[in-house]
Amino acid sequence: MTRCESQPVKRLLFSARYHFGHLRSFRSLVLKHLEVEGIPVAERQGMSVGRFLRDYPVGSAPADRNFFLYLAAYEDFAAKAGAALP
């Protein structure tokens, strides 16, 4: 195998090792965030980020769920950042 052929493989392996190594810390950050949001332990068990965005806060109108709240915050940030660019 030449050096040229091995570089993409090395990058792929490094990327996989990096992501697997940080998976546990990401999971703990998500769990801490769910705890701060007041989601009971029983509901946190096996919860995905997608479910958190789609279904919470419980009892709110669909347009007031976390997905749309985070999307609005991102759009606001993007507009301010875009306005600040020369």
Q: Kindly report, residue by residue over 56-80, the tens digit of the pLDDT.
A: 999 999 999 999 999 999 999 999 9
CA torsion sign, 13 to 33 to 61 to 69? Answer: negative
Could you tell me which residue, 53 or 2, shows the higher pLDDT?
53
Q: What is the pLDDT of residue 86?
A: 85
Which of the four pLDDT bands, split at 50, 70 and 90, describes residue 14? low
CB 27 within 8 A of CB 44: no
Per-residue pLDDT, averaged over 1-23, amounts to 60
For the chain, give every domain's residue range. 1-45, 48-86
Q: Which of 47, 54, 53, 50 is nearest to 31 (CA)?
A: 47
Angstrom distance (rounded) from CA 13 to CA 57? 39
Distance of CA 38 to the CA centre of its chain: 18
Q: pLDDT digits over 33-47, tens only?
A: 899 999 999 999 888
Beta-carbon neighbour count of residue 52 at 10 Å?
Answer: 20
